Amino acid sequence: MSMTAPAVGLPGGISYEEFLATVDEGTHAEWVDGEVVRMSPASDRHHDIKIFLATLFRTFADLNGLGVVRDAGFQMKTGPELPGREPDVFFIARENVGRLRKTFLEGPADLALEIVSPESVERDRRLKFQEYQKGGVREYWLIDPSRREATVYRLNRTGVYEPAPAGDPPRLRSEVMRGLSIDPEWLWSEPTPSVAVALREWGLV
């Protein structure tokens, strides 16, 4: 099924196909109801956490043959009538890599992660939460550095997100990347720790 959709919303809007063809590769933007929504530049702190998590996810996925990892700059279009988004980090399981296209993922990622910034609170906590839930993203990780909060949401059998228990000591654990466990304190360290810290905890080095 093609994920391109006619422009909706304001008159003069563009289709998702037109968005992909006309927006420069280096421009961070999302497609919402026929409009091009440009993203504000990320802070150094936001960027540090994103690179740390993308590296952790990719290393874990590669070492275990689980699938592929992408980050902001690559699009995810979960459904024909849903926006085209740029999650900060997302994982596509090996059995679903056929959804990858040249410039976007045609269908839901198995895991999407967003790092909340002051200008993205409404977008990440409400809009994307609802969209990813509706689009079938199996896990949604929401990281909020300013609050020092990190929550993993999982789709239940009725297709509704439920927060996963953190455990004691608290860990961010993935079911779709089975075996992946992250100490949330790593995310609040400035700068973030070496990836080797996680590899040692996972018993991979």
Note whether residue 26 is domain-resident.
no
Structure confidence at residue 22 (pLDDT): 87
CA distance 12 to 36: 11
Average pLDDT over every residue of 121-129 = 96
CA distance 60 to 64: 6
- Quick one: which of 55, 54, 46, 42 has its CA closest to 191? 46
The domain total for the chain is 1
- Quick one: which of 26, 74, 31 has its CA closest to 50? 74
Render pLDDT for 182-199 as a digit per residue (tens, 0 to 9): 999 999 999 999 999 998
Higher pLDDT, 119 or 67: 67
CA distance 56 to 4: 32
Residue with tokens 């006619």: 6
DSSP 115: E
Render pLDDT for 130-182 as a digit per residue (tens, 0 to 9): 999 999 999 999 999 999 999 999 999 999 999 999 988 999 999 999 999 99
Note whether residue 25 is domain-resident.
no
- Quick one: which of 93, 108, 47 has its CA closest to 73? 47
Tell me, rounded to whole angstroms, the distance of Cα 107 from its chain centroid.
13
Note whether residue 66 is domain-resident.
yes
Note whether residue 34 is domain-resident.
no
Structural domain span for residue 123? 42-201
Percent of the chain surpassing pLDDT 90: 80
Note whether residue 177 is domain-resident.
yes
**Model confidence, pTM:** 0.89
For 125, half-sphere exposure in the C-beta direction (CA atoms, 13 angstrom radius) is: 12
Higher pLDDT, 41 or 7: 41
Tell me, rounded to whole angstroms, the distance of Cα 3 from its chain centroid.
18
CATH number at residue 59: 3.90.1570.10
Note whether residue 4 is domain-resident.
no
Note whether residue 2 is domain-resident.
no
Note whether residue 17 is domain-resident.
no
Render pLDDT for 4-22 as a digit per residue (tens, 0 to 9): 443 344 345 899 999 999 8
Supply 15's token pair.
Answer: 């289709």
